[in-house]
Amino acid sequence: MADLLGAGLDWLDQQRERFLTRPVRYRRGAQEVAVPATVGRTVFRLDTGPGVTERIEARDYLIAATHLAGFGLPLRGDRVIEEAGGQRHLYEVLAPGREPHWRWSDPNRRTYRIHTKHLTSEAIP
């Protein structure tokens, strides 16, 4: 019997990449690649002491693992460059506290959910 749910997940992922992505550049050192990414967010709640909780929101990028095959797994310190509305935004791959900086976004382990922190924004000349 065919894996109907697996086929459905594949189809949904294809639709996400076809209709819900924007071009970004993923950079590690001098190496850079243009990839389609879906923009998302994750809200982290960190226990910072007795009765104190810190809420931190990260900008996430969902990127197919095949698009980053030349890099291997995402590493802390990698960069994501996104251009939108006449601005160039630079993000660093990073998550708060001891949270992992990336996770699998799907049960088939084909798409990374990469957590980032905003570094800078500048007007595109």
- Please tell me the pTM assigned to this model: 0.89
Cα diameter, the chain: 56
What was the pLDDT predicted at 53?
85
Contacts 24+ apart (CB under 8 A), 46-51: 46/96, 46/97
Would you state the pLDDT for residue 1?
60
Calculated CA dihedral for residues 65, 66, 68, 69, nearest 10 degrees: 110
Whole-number pLDDT of residue 9: 86
Q: What is the DSSP letter of 46?
A: E
Range of the domain at 54: 4-123
The total number of structural domains that make up the chain: 1
The whole-number mean pLDDT for each consecutive block of 10 residues of the chain, a chain of 125 residues, reads 83 92 97 97 86 88 96 97 95 92 92 97 93
